[in-house]
Structures are given as C-alpha cells and as structure tokens.
Amino acid sequence: MKTIHVSASKEYDVLVERGLLHRCGALIRGVCRGQSAAIVADETVWALYGEVVSKSLRESGFRVICCTFPAGEQEKTLETYAAVIRTLAAEKMSRSDCVVALGGGVTGDLAGFVAASYMRGIDFVQIPTTLLAAVDSSVGGKTAVDLDEGKNLVGAFYQPRLVLCDPDTLATLPPEQFRAGMAEVIKYGMIGDEDFLNSLLARPAAEHLEEVIAACVAMKRDVVSRDEFEQGERRLLNFGHTVGHAVERCRGFALSHGEAVAIGMAVLSRAAVNKGYCSEETLTRLLQALQQYDLPMETDCTVEELSAAALADKKRSGDKLRLVVPERVGGCRIETIAAESFREWLKAGGVQ
C-alpha cells in the first residue's frame, strides 16, 4: 500500500492499493465514529461498486444510506445537491456521521459540497473510481456544483478525512475516460517532474498504476499543502486549463475535460516556444506523451471563439488572465497577461 499524508487545514491520508475497496469499511471506521454513512454515487458506479462498499461499511457497523443520481457532468447541479442533502436530512444524519463519495470527479465535487454544507460540515471520505478523480479531484479539497452560468460556480474548500484509491476499479473505466485522466497525469510531469514524464514515455501507465497515482497525489499534496486556497502556486495545476476550459465551453460535451486540457497544454506549449519561454524539445516531449496516450493536440475552435470563451471564465481577475507557461519539462511559471493579449497567445499556439 502507498500512503500519502496530506497536511492542509485538515490532516489526512490518501491510501492507494489494489483491492482496497473490499476493506474500505474498517478504514473509514478508523476516521469516523458516527453511526451512519451516506454513499453518494452515480448510477453507473453504484451498479459496479455500490454493493461491495455497502457490505464493507455494514460489516464495520455503519448504517448505510444510498444517494444515487444519473451519471454525467450535467447532473453536477444545485438540484442534485438539494436532492442528496434532503436525503441526509430525511435519514436524520447527524454531525458525527459521514458522507462517502464513490465515483469520479462529478461525484466527489458534488458529495464534497454536500459534506461541507450539511449541518455546517460533516466528515467526508473520497473513494475515487476514475483516473482523473484518483490523481486530481479527490485530493485538495475543492468541492463544487455547476450553474447554467458556468462550471463550479458554487462550492467550498473542504478537505476529506480520508481518500481510498483502489486502482482495480479503473479496470472498468471506458478507455476514453482513462485517456482523459492521463491528460492530468501528463500535466503533473510537465509542471513538476521530468523523471516522472520520462517514466510515462518509457512504460504504459496502465502497467504501474499504483506508482503513477501515488506520484501524482504526492505532487498535488506538495502544491496544496503550500497553497491550499489557491493564492499562488496551486494555480500551476491549471496548466492547460485556461485554454482547455475555453475549448470545453465552445464544444460543450463533445470533448472530455481531459481532452480539452490536452489541447490546452499543447496550445500553451507551442505558444511558449514561439515566445521564447521554452525550447522546441520541451514541446516535443509533451506532444510525444500526448500522442502515446492518444490525446488530441489541436482544436478547430477559432481564436475568436476561444478568446470570447476564456474571457467569460471565472478565472479571469479584472482585465488580466493568468497563464501557466512551461519553461522546461518539469518546470512551469505563472504569467499574468492583459486579457487583450490572449488572442496573440492563441495565435502563437497554432490556433487559427
């Protein structure tokens, strides 16, 4: 088992081990003394893993409450949030009980916000079942739901008590979801660790998932423990995301988040070469990794479409945009640019 200890406003462990799901009850009992555990899961994940998790929780003495909702980002809404939180109230969950998020980032974000706000905050455990959730969304304490006006507009910083990651659950993940998670994995290599990126190029990540996940979690932990509330360094985790979010906005649900981030990283790195921030070699290595894991590197969205979408994004502060720009593999910097010059960055990044 790999254990990554996180020291943020709460201290907690991220445990990564194959087969962990079957003994999650005892591990959750170790951090939560309450009587009831509410499992929040989308219907797809519930059908696959709901029973295993419920059984293990019951064996550890929990009364299990099940809150399911249809799978998909379009369900990460205030309406689903209200339905889940009202189930907790109807079941008379108390402040000492806990919420267990079983699923991908949608479930984690939604259940986390439920846990953050129900009775002003109850214990929360994450059991990520997508690669994206394992390496990114389950660690760090960002929780949120979407509004029609934009993604993640309502939420809270709220750390879990425990994160249990069982890489065996990723075996049932559709290939496109695995690929999407790989975009975030590659992102860690680009922002923080050249050797790690090399290891992804040398050997398929699927062959050593425990190590890959633990390495990403440790990198995220390091960043989050230094800057939990995203005042500075944590913004590095947004590499590829300013352009990526803009692509997502333009193409709706036709692209996954990971594919959009892959495009974003490629565009920004091309621009970085053209503007003299990094060498051609840095770009080549990124593109090799994206290609190896079957991720897109180009978009047919136009400069006009993308700049309009990015400027509507909440990450804009005033008339400035923050871009994460690679200087080398394993090292990126944050550049604050005038919103007007974003078009020029997109053009330099090969967008038409």
Residue type, 343: R
Structure tokens at 163: 């994160």
Q: Are 245 and 258 within 8 A, CB to CB?
A: no
Q: Is 156 in the site for ligand NAD (CB under 6 A)?
A: no
Q: Is 248 in the site for ligand NAD (CB under 6 A)?
A: no
Among positions 321-340, residues that touch ligand NAD (CB under 6 A) are none
Among 29, 187, 235, 257, binds ligand NAD (CB under 6 A): 257
Among 169, 238, 242, 307, binds ligand NAD (CB under 6 A): 169
92 annotated active-site: no
Among 99, 100, 173, 191, binds ligand NAD (CB under 6 A): 173
149 annotated active-site: no
Q: Are 240 and 326 within 8 A, CB to CB?
A: no
Q: How far is the CB of 324 from ligand NAD (least distance, A)?
A: 15
Among 84, 98, 111, 132, binds ligand NAD (CB under 6 A): 132
CA–CA gap between residue 140 and residue 143 (Å, rounded): 9
120 annotated active-site: yes
Q: Is 282 in the site for ligand NAD (CB under 6 A)?
A: no
Q: Are 41 and 107 within 8 A, CB to CB?
A: yes
86 annotated active-site: no
Identify any residues that bridge with 11 across adjacent strands, giving them in sequence order: 7
CA–CA gap between residue 49 and residue 83 (Å, rounded): 21
Q: How many residues interact with ligand NAD (rule CB under 6 A)?
A: 31
257 annotated active-site: yes
230 annotated active-site: yes
CA–CA gap between residue 93 and residue 89 (Å, rounded): 6
- Between 42 and 305, CB nearer to ligand NAD: 42
Q: Is 76 in the site for ligand NAD (CB under 6 A)?
A: yes
Q: How many other CB atoms are found less than 10 A from the CB of residue 231?
A: 9
Q: Is 73 in the site for ligand NAD (CB under 6 A)?
A: yes
Q: Is 50 in the site for ligand NAD (CB under 6 A)?
A: no
220 annotated active-site: yes
- Between 54 and 169, CB nearer to ligand NAD: 169
CA–CA gap between residue 299 and residue 306 (Å, rounded): 10
Write out the E strands in the chain: 2-7, 11-16, 36-42, 63-69, 98-103, 123-128, 142-147, 150-157, 162-165, 320-328, 331-338
245 annotated active-site: yes
Identify any residues that bridge with 36 across adjacent strands, giving them in sequence order: 63
Among 133, 260, 290, 323, binds ligand NAD (CB under 6 A): 133
Enclosing H/E stretch for 110: helix 105-117
Structure tokens at 87: 């189930």
User: Which of 29, 161, 257, 270 does the annotation list as catalytic?
Assistant: 257
Q: Is 103 in the site for ligand NAD (CB under 6 A)?
A: yes
Q: Are 67 and 98 within 8 A, CB to CB?
A: no
Q: Which residues bind ligand NAD (CB under 6 A)?
A: 42, 44-45, 48, 71-73, 76, 103-107, 109, 129-130, 132-133, 136-137, 140, 142, 151-152, 169-170, 172-173, 177, 180, 257
Residues taking part in catalysis: 120, 142, 184, 220, 230, 234, 238, 241, 245, 257
